[in-house]
Amino acid sequence: MPISRRQFLYYSALVTSSVALSGLPLYAYDPKPGSGRDEVRRSYCGLCHPRCGTLLHMRDGKVFEVSGDPDHPVTRGMICERGLLMPEHIHHPGRVNHPLKRVGARGEGKWERISWDQALDEVAEKLARLRDAHGPETLAFTHGTSRTHHWDCRRFFNLFGSPNVCGVNNVCMCPSYATEYATYGGMARGNPRRAKCVVIWGRASANSSPVQSWPALQQAKKAGVTFIVVDPRRIEEVELADMWLQIRPGTDLALLLGWIRLVIEEELYDKEFVAKWTVGFDEIRQAVRDYTPEKVSEITWLPVEQITAAARLYATSKPAQIPYGYGLDKQGVNANQCARARAILRAITGNLEVDGGETFGQTPEVAKVRGEFDLVASEAISPAQRAKQLGADTYPFFGFPGWERNVESNRKLPKGHVAPPSMYRTCVAHARDVFRAAIVKKPYPVTAMFSVASNPMLSFPDSPMVMQALMALDLYVVMEYYMTPSAALADYVFPSATTVEQPELWTTGSFCMACPPGIEPLYERRDTYQFYRGLGLRLGQEKDWPWENLEQAYDYCLEPVGTTFAKLTESYGFFGKPQFKRYEQTGFGTPSGKVELVSSIFKDMGCDPVPIYKEPLWSPAGDPELAAQYPLVLITGSRFMPMYHSEHRQIESARRAAPDPLVFLHPETVAALGLADGQWVHVVSPKGKARMRLRASTAIHPKMADAQHGWWFPERSGELPGLFGAFESNANMLCPMEPEQCSPEIGSWPHSALLCRIEKA
């Protein structure tokens, strides 16, 4: 049985929650029936990435229902179960609606309501003092996934002079993005409907991208596309697939190298493209020569025949795609070289920049719109301040040095050919070094931190270390929707406007979309732009925030295409036309102008220029003694609906669908351990433990455990030491962040490919 969304919902109906939901301050918005729909307003959903077009149904000035907007040119009326939570989210009584100032001890839960002006004045005054004492680099930032535009944050930090913006980007998609820029000058994506073969490698779209990728895969299946799934779990996508490779977590790089070897040995590569447009083919051939199917089989737990058949199927189906999957990014030591090996495979099989393969997606029409690169004021931060970026000495590729190199290569292409590499995505401090600098004040003290659209207590590994860092700060400022375990440790909490309460200009390479606010911000909620601008104006940046609000900033972005945000909302947005093989005119945006199978940027940054497989530190083969005590391979954080990371735990309909943290084990494993489906257990890793409800599932390999992430309990007290139960069922109590566990290129920490055992709770 594959794990499906339906199954999760079904499970939740079967499982009686350990907490009686009725007595809790969870909340379902209950519109009074019968008063009729008075108005429908067009807006968008920002509860995850795609910004689906929505219609807000209003009654008595409140949003009582949301539906998909059938006229939306991209999402065409589709929204997901999570999108349906929007009315409950907008009107939830747990929302932070006014600026709050801590009055008790940190984490004591005592707050005073203050005005925006007072809050901004006090934060600016404290920041100025800390900057004068320690330098601007004393201020750090944690970001989460792109829940809100992030250019305003980076603009503020560059103007303030701090390079210490850190966040989850060291693991989430951005390592692949940066690596692909270094390899062929852009991040490649494809439209599965136009392919012959798609390899779903470490990605489970049915649960992670229900409106964008999952319907596209289903349509592709109907159109006859062949699928290969490489995933340790039998996911819903396996139902679409011709082949399923149930790989041992953390060993994907060995398989990728095995595929590259086979493609070269059996001469299945695109000889003309390789000869004309790549450098380093011979070194790659050398580097992969030991990855025979037999050796790969031993490492990955996959049968030899499956390894060779899958590689042949991929290499002989033209065009073919291997879309991005977070399952590769979250495996620690090998994560970034997996991205390199995937990029190499795409290139040598001739699937780059061809219709149905993977392209850079940037269209000349959309490229004219001013974007992040034009808004972040990167020139404002001096070389001396850039050099102080924490972690960049260990991981220069992911700091200013690597970003500058990728920018330099991009500049060789005609302007707008491929979007310049994003600073937010590829030029970040390392979170571990930032937290350490807060705790031990070395190499210099981090004394102030902002978390905006980020819940570091739940999203980074080693939650106790994160807490120690937050507790050590002189100033911790959070901008949030709800009081979270992170916000509970803040000095100031600013109330954040919901996406439907603010405009958004959303551009991907091929389209530019104006997302209209459906309603005015309620209470004193504001968008993040008002937060950064408010602080900037108080900190000597008066000339640098010329736009009074987001809409004016978006008008500035749209000026080169001769429209305004308001005008663009009428037509939703515009598309560009995809183009192929543009490299024939311009070359690739790399130092050599070719696809760098051996990466010169990696080499210059002290990273392995060709991928080499490393056994994960905590693994049956990497440490048999440890594995004797922790016999199961652990993965965490497989996405499930309707939850989004640590969010929505306070929304009643979401909690009815997913009431408890779950860990999945194979029924044979459950029986061998003398446990029973549905009982509470402790998942114990060498790092720590998490209490979860056991779910038996044949979708999991018998030697594995799959623990959900993001669990805390808003219904409990937020005061220390409990902190909403943030240490009880949090998968990041199990995950390490020590240097030897992280990838040497980017410092990607592992949320997967770990070890654990299961104990009765």
Ligand X SMILES: Nc1nc2c(c(=O)[nH]1)N[C@H]1C(S)=C(S)[C@@H](COP(=O)(O)OP(=O)(O)OC[C@H]3O[C@@H](n4cnc5c(=O)[nH]c(N)nc54)[C@H](O)[C@@H]3O)O[C@H]1N2
Q: Does 80 bind ligand SF4 (CB under 6 A)?
A: yes
Provide the minimum distance between the beta carbon of 145 and Mo ion in the complex, in angstroms, as a whole number. Answer: 4
Q: How far is the CB of 3 from ligand X (least distance, A)?
A: 8
- In 3D space, the residue among 674, 611, 172 whose CA is nearest the CA of residue 428 turns out to be 172
H-helix segments, 368-495: 372-375, 383-386, 400-411, 423-426, 431-440, 456-459, 463-472
Whichever of 173 and 605 has its CB closer to ligand X, that residue is: 173
Q: Does 694 bind ligand SF4 (CB under 6 A)?
A: no
55 forms beta bridges with 42, 67
57 binds, among ligand SF4, Mo ion, ligand X, none (CB under 5 to 8 A by kind): none
Stretch that binds Mo ion, among 50-58, 137-145, 265-273, 449-457 (CB under 5 A): 137-145
What SS3 string covers 619-668? CCCCCHHHHHHCCEEEEECCCCCCCCCCCCCCEHHHHHHCCCCEEEECHH
CA angle in degrees (0–180, nearest 5) for 336-338-344 = 110
Q: Are the beta carbons of 494 and 117 closer than 8 angstroms?
A: no
How far apart (Å, rounded) are the C-alpha atoms in residues 495 and 480? 6
**Closer to ligand X by Cβ: residue 173 or 746:** 173
Closer to ligand X by Cβ: residue 204 or 369: 204
Q: Of 277 and 664, which has the nearer Cβ to ligand X?
A: 664
Which residue stretch of 2-10, 75-83, 237-245, 387-395 sits at the interface with ligand SF4 (rule: CB under 6 A)? 75-83
Q: Residue 210, interface with ligand SF4 (CB under 6 A)?
A: yes
Residue 4 burial by Cβ neighbours in a 10 Å radius (0-12, 13-18, 19+): middle
Distance, in Å, from the CA atom of 61 to the CA atom of 498, rounded to the nearest integer, reads 16
**Closer by beta carbon to ligand X, 48 or else 320:** 48
Residues of this chain, 303-362, that bind Mo ion according to CB under 5 A? none
Binding site for ligand X (CB under 6 A): 48, 144-145, 147-148, 168, 171-173, 201-205, 207-209, 230-233, 235, 247, 249-250, 252, 325-327, 330-331, 452-455, 458-459, 479-482, 484, 496, 528, 635-641, 643-647, 709-710, 731-732, 735, 751-753
Work out whether 658 is an interface residue with ligand SF4 (CB under 6 A): no
Tell me the closest approach of the beta carbon of residue 491 to ligand X, in angstroms: 16
CB of 293 to ligand X, least distance (A): 18
Dist. CA 144–CA 165, nearest whole Å: 11
Query: From the list 172, 263, 633, 657, which residue makes contact with Mo ion (rule: CB under 5 A)?
Result: 172
Q: Which is nearer to ligand X, 145 or 316 (CB)?
A: 145
How many Cα atoms within 13 Å fall on the side-chain side of residue 373?
19
Question: Which of ligand X, ligand SF4, Mo ion, none sits in contact with 45, Cβ below 5 to 8 A by type?
Answer: ligand SF4
Task: Pick between residue 509 and residue 710 the one whose CB is nearest to ligand X.
Answer: 710
Q: What is the 3-state secondary structure (H, E, C) of 341-376?
A: HHHHHHHHCCCECCCCCEECCCCHHHHCCCCHHHHC
Q: Which stretch binds ligand SF4 (CB under 6 A): 77-85, 359-367, 386-394, 409-417?
A: 77-85
Work out whether 185 is an interface residue with ligand SF4 (CB under 6 A): no
Take residue 649 and report the two structure tokens written for it. Answer: 């735990």
Residue with tokens 């060498």: 686
Q: Which is nearer to ligand SF4, 45 or 731 (CB)?
A: 45
Residue 185 near residue 345 (C-beta atoms within 8 A): no
State the sign of the Cα–Cα–Cα–Cα dihedral 339, 341, 343, 349. Answer: negative
**Least separation, in Å, of the C-beta of 387 and ligand X?**
28
**Total residues interacting with ligand SF4, rule: CB under 6 A:** 12
Q: Of 45-53, 87-95, 538-546, 676-684, which part binds ligand SF4 (CB under 6 A)? A: 45-53
Sheet with 511-515: strands ordered across? 504-507, 511-515, 573-575
* Among the listed residues 48, 44, 35, 36, the one whose alpha carbon sits nearest the alpha carbon of residue 642: 48
Longest dimension (CA), the chain: 73
Interacting partner of 343 out of Mo ion, ligand X, ligand SF4, none (Cβ under 5 to 8 A depending on kind): none
- Residue 499 CA to residue 477 CA, distance in Å, equals 21
C-beta of 459: minimal distance to Mo ion in Å?
9
Question: Closest residue (Cβ) to Mo ion?
Answer: 172
The nearer residue to ligand SF4, 83 or 319, going by C-beta atoms, is 83
Among 47, 348, 539, 607, binds ligand SF4 (CB under 6 A): 47
Among ligand X, ligand SF4, Mo ion, none, the one that 327 touches (CB under a kind-dependent 5 to 8 A) is: ligand X
CA–CA gap between residue 743 and residue 333 (Å, rounded): 4
The only residue of 3, 45, 553, 692 in contact with ligand SF4, by rule CB under 6 A: 45
Per CB under 6 A, 52 contacts ligand SF4: yes
Length reported for the chain:
761
**427 interface partner picked from Mo ion, ligand SF4, ligand X, none, CB below 5 to 8 A per type:** none
Contact 100, 111 (CB under 8 A): yes
The entry of Mo ion, ligand SF4, ligand X, none near residue 211 (CB within 5 to 8 angstroms by kind) is ligand SF4
Of 662, 542, 752, 467, nearest in space to 3 by CA: 662
731 binds, among ligand X, ligand SF4, Mo ion, none (CB under 5 to 8 A by kind): ligand X
**Intra-chain end-to-end CA distance of the chain, in Å:** 27
Cα(565)–Cα(561) distance, rounded to whole angstroms? 11
How far does CA 255 lie from the centroid of its chain?
A: 24
Of residues 533-562, which lie at the interface with Mo ion (CB under 5 A)? none
130 vs 199, beta carbon nearer ligand X = 199
* Residue 229 beta carbon to ligand X: minimum distance, rounded to whole angstroms: 9
Total number of residues binding Mo ion (CB under 5 A)?
2
Report which DSSP code applies to 732: G
Given the rule CB under 6 A, which of 43-51, 300-308, 463-471, 657-665 is the region that contacts ligand SF4?
Answer: 43-51
The residue number with the shortest CB distance to ligand SF4 is: 83
Contact between 211 and ligand SF4 by CB under 6 A: the answer reads: yes
Of positions 7, 118, 145, 316, contacts Mo ion by CB under 5 A: 145
Closest listed residue to residue 198, CA positions, set 172, 184, 219 = 219
Handedness of CA 46, 52, 55, 57 (dihedral sign): negative
Q: Closer to ligand SF4 at the Cβ: 47 or 206? A: 47
CB-based contact 480:496 (threshold 8 Å): yes
The owner of tokens 């219904």 is 715
DSSP string, 558-585: HGGGT--HHHHHHT-EEEPPP---THHH
Position 591 contacts ligand SF4 (CB under 6 A) = no
Would you count residue 48 as binding ligand SF4 (CB under 6 A)?
yes
- Identify which of residues 78 and 418 has a Cβ nearer to ligand SF4 in the complex: 78
Q: Which is nearer to ligand X, 253 or 279 (CB)?
A: 253
Give the CA distances from residue 713 to residues 93, 499, 514, 726, in Å, rounded to whole numbers and listed in that order. Answer: 16, 24, 36, 7
Residue 146 near Mo ion by CB under 5 A: no
Is 79 an interacting residue with respect to ligand SF4 (CB under 6 A)?
yes
Where do contacts with ligand SF4 occur on this chain (CB under 6 A)? 45, 47-48, 50-52, 79-80, 82-83, 210-211
Where do contacts with Mo ion occur on this chain (CB under 5 A)? 145, 172
